[in-house]
Amino acid sequence: MKPVFIDTHCHFDFPPFVEHEEESLSLAAQSAVERIIVPAVTCDRFEGIVQLTQRFPMIYGALGLHPLYIASHQDEGLDRLQQLLSQNNGKLVAVGEVGLDEYMDTPQSDRQVWLLLEQLKLANRFELPVILHSRQTHDKLAKILRQTKQVRTGVVHGFSGSLAQAMAFVRLGYAIGVGGVITYERAQKTRQVMAALPLEALVLETDAPDMPLAGFQGQPNRPERLTLIFEQLCRLRSEPAEQIARQLYANSVALFSL
State yes or no: pLDDT of 200 exceeds 80: yes
Exposed/middle/buried for residue 36 (C-beta within 10 Å: 0-12, 13-18, 19+) = buried
pLDDT in tens, 138-174: 999 999 999 999 999 999 999 999 999 999 999 999 9
Average pLDDT over residues 50-59: 98
Residue-wise burial string across 197-208, b where 16 or more C-beta atoms lie within 10 A, e elsewhere: bebebbbbbbbb
Average pLDDT over residues 221-231: 98
State yes or no: pLDDT of 195 exceeds 90: yes
Q: Nearest 5°: CA angle at 240, between 161 and 152? A: 50
Confidence of residue 242 (pLDDT cuts 50, 70, 90): very high
3-state secondary structure labels for all residues of the chain: CCCCEEECCECCCCCCCCCCHHHHHHHHHHCCEEEEEEECCCHHHHHHHHHHHHHCCCEEEEECCCHHHCCCCCHHHHHHHHHHHHCCCCCEEEEEEEEEECCCCCCCHHHHHHHHHHHHHHHHHCCCCEEEEEECCHHHHHHHHHHHCCCCCEEEECCCCCHHHHHHHHHCCCEEEECHHHHCCCCHHHHHHHHHCCHHHEEECCCECCCCCCCCCCCCCCHHHHHHHHHHHHHHCCCCHHHHHHHHHHHHHHHHCC
The model's pTM: 0.97
State yes or no: pLDDT of 55 exceeds 80: yes
State yes or no: pLDDT of 104 exceeds 90: no
Q: What is the CATH number of the domain that holds 225?
A: 3.20.20.140
Question: Whole-angstrom Cα distance, residue 257 to residue 70?
Answer: 29
For the chain, the average pLDDT equals 97
Which one, of 150, 115, 137, 110, lies nearest residue 42 by Cα?
115
Percentage of the chain with pLDDT > 70? 100
Question: Whole-angstrom Cα distance, residue 185 to residue 27?
Answer: 27
State yes or no: pLDDT of 2 exceeds 90: no
How many domains, in total, are found in the chain?
A: 1
Q: What range does the domain containing 18 cover?
A: 5-256
In the prediction, which pLDDT does 1 show? 73
